[in-house]
Amino acid sequence: MALSIIIVGSGPAGLAVAERIAHKAPQARIDLIDNLPVPFGLARYGLAPDRVLDKKTTAIFARALAAKSVAFWGNVALGREFDLADLRTLYDAVVVATGAGVDRQLNVPGDRLSGVWGAGAFMRWLNGDPETPSPPPLARVRNVIVVGQGSVALEIARLLARSSKELAKADLDPEVADALAAMPLKSIHVVGRNDLLASRFRPGDVADLKKLARAQAVIDPEALTHAEALADTLDRDRKTLLRAFNALAAAPRDEARLPIRFHFYLRPLRFDGAAGVERVLFTRPDRLGQNLALRGELVIAAIGLERTAAYDRLLDDRGLIAPGLYAAGWAKRGPAGSIAEIVADARQVADRVLKEAGTAPSTRPGRAGLARLLETRGAGAVSLAGWQRIDAAEKAAAAKPRPRRRLRVLNALLTTAAGPERLL
């Protein structure tokens, strides 16, 4: 019997593993499962709606789903319909590519006030994730504070700073676009706990801020002076980042434009507010007592995700949990790295799976066993054809020139996916 492999999670990592194995071992049978009825993980629910995946990555994902040896099973979850022990009995190799857990909390007083969001949850809401609850109250938001110094913090600040016209083609549902447009924004603050040179912003993203139609970046001059003093000691990447900030700072301030104010070396002390958050008190660790209060009715903590899965502790540095059991993507590396990095890494995991599986014939039931198991547990899986029906329905419902209008309710996704085919 052919080698049987199951990949849990159809985000960038799971898709890249599937594509690589399908290409290098076309005789292997690969099952790709996801707890959601739709594939793509954070490439669908995390990416900023004004970003488009590059063509190379899109092609890898498309090849994974189209491969004859790959079967997609949506709406089935590890930990709900089955556990790892079930899968290890059924398959020659199991690859866990379930991503990373939940938004990291700031853990300061008041951080549970309404209006304080994690970046992952905020992006999920923007992108129509059926499992993310009610939207933040945007109509009263005049000031936004994004806490964080990485690429996601900048993605969020840039997206919120865009005018409605700039977002006209973005992959946003009309109601989300309307909610963003209704924000009476006066300022956006991006606040980092380290100095400017320790930022993990992509220099290209910093440079691109000058193209924004209605907004202007305003950089703390003291942070720039401090960074400039170290200019001779910097590596190439840091120099590029500093150049990008200097170029933004060189433009004279236009008071008519929405400011995106960059602050550095500030740590949140406390969130204050009655019904919801109204202001955040920050402190400078080097100047005790010199606190800074910023007004903010929406605070987004873009400080990374937290790994929550029990198998995290079992990983070795090449993604092996136990013989025949592997991890890939953020489930392997923790919540850091772009899609391109994750895809490259996942392909190495795929190579390792194939190498260690060898060429001996398989004795495991694989897909037939999975189908039986799902039947006994009453799970209604969504097939590739089911996802294609969702995809077609979302594209047909798009308010042009937007690419799609997302089905935001789990039941609507499942109803739209329903069809006559059987998964086996």
- Positions that interact with ligand FAD (CB under 6 A): 8-14, 33-36, 41-43, 46-48, 51, 77-79, 97-99, 119-120, 123, 152, 155, 329-331, 337-340, 342
Question: Quick one: CA torsion of 5, 8, 14, 20, rounded to 10 degrees?
Answer: 0
Task: Supply the minimum distance, in Å, between the C-beta of residue 37 and ligand FAD.
Answer: 10
> In the complex with ligand FAD, which residue's Cβ is closer, 138 or 146?
146
CA distance 21 to 105: 37
Task: Supply the minimum distance, in Å, between the C-beta of residue 26 and ligand FAD.
Answer: 23
> In the complex with ligand FAD, which residue's Cβ is closer, 276 or 337?
337
> In the complex with ligand FAD, which residue's Cβ is closer, 159 or 224?
159
Q: Residue ranges of the alpha helices (H) in 67-214?
A: 84-90, 119-126, 151-161, 174-181, 203-208
Task: Supply the minimum distance, in Å, between the C-beta of residue 359 and ligand FAD.
Answer: 28
What residue type is 406 in one-letter code?
A: R
Task: Supply the minimum distance, in Å, between the C-beta of residue 50 and ligand FAD.
Answer: 10
Helix H or strand E segment including 298: strand 298-301
Q: Which region holds residue 324: left if phi is over 0, alpha if psi is between -120 and 50, else beta?
A: left
How many of the other CB atoms lie within 10 Å of CB of 43?
A: 19
Cβ atoms of 182 and 139 closer than 8 Å: yes
Token pair 């300022």 in the structure block, residue: 187
> In the complex with ligand FAD, which residue's Cβ is closer, 12 or 259?
12
Task: Supply the minimum distance, in Å, between the C-beta of residue 109 and ligand FAD.
Answer: 25
- Residue at shortest CB range from ligand FAD: 11
> In the complex with ligand FAD, which residue's Cβ is closer, 224 or 413?
413
> In the complex with ligand FAD, which residue's Cβ is closer, 141 or 331?
331
Task: Supply the minimum distance, in Å, between the C-beta of residue 305 and ligand FAD.
Answer: 6
> In the complex with ligand FAD, which residue's Cβ is closer, 46 or 115?
46
> In the complex with ligand FAD, which residue's Cβ is closer, 45 or 265?
45
Question: Quick one: CA torsion of 145, 151, 154, 159, rounded to 10 degrees?
Answer: -110
> In the complex with ligand FAD, which residue's Cβ is closer, 4 or 223?
4
CA distance 128 to 278: 26
CA distance 284 to 108: 15
Task: Supply the minimum distance, in Å, between the C-beta of residue 403 and ligand FAD.
Answer: 16
> In the complex with ligand FAD, which residue's Cβ is closer, 12 or 296?
12
Among 124, 155, 144, 130, CA closest to 74? 130
Q: Who's near 20: CB < 8 A, 6+ residues apart?
A: 346, 347, 350, 351
- From residue 61, alpha-carbon distances to 98, 266, 324, 335 in Å are 16, 40, 24, 20
Task: Supply the minimum distance, in Å, between the C-beta of residue 316 and ligand FAD.
Answer: 17
Task: Supply the minimum distance, in Å, between the C-beta of residue 190 and ligand FAD.
Answer: 15
Cβ atoms of 305 and 104 closer than 8 Å: yes
Task: Supply the minimum distance, in Å, between the C-beta of residue 284 and ligand FAD.
Answer: 27
- From residue 23, alpha-carbon distances to 164, 361, 367 in Å are 43, 19, 19
CA distance 178 to 195: 36
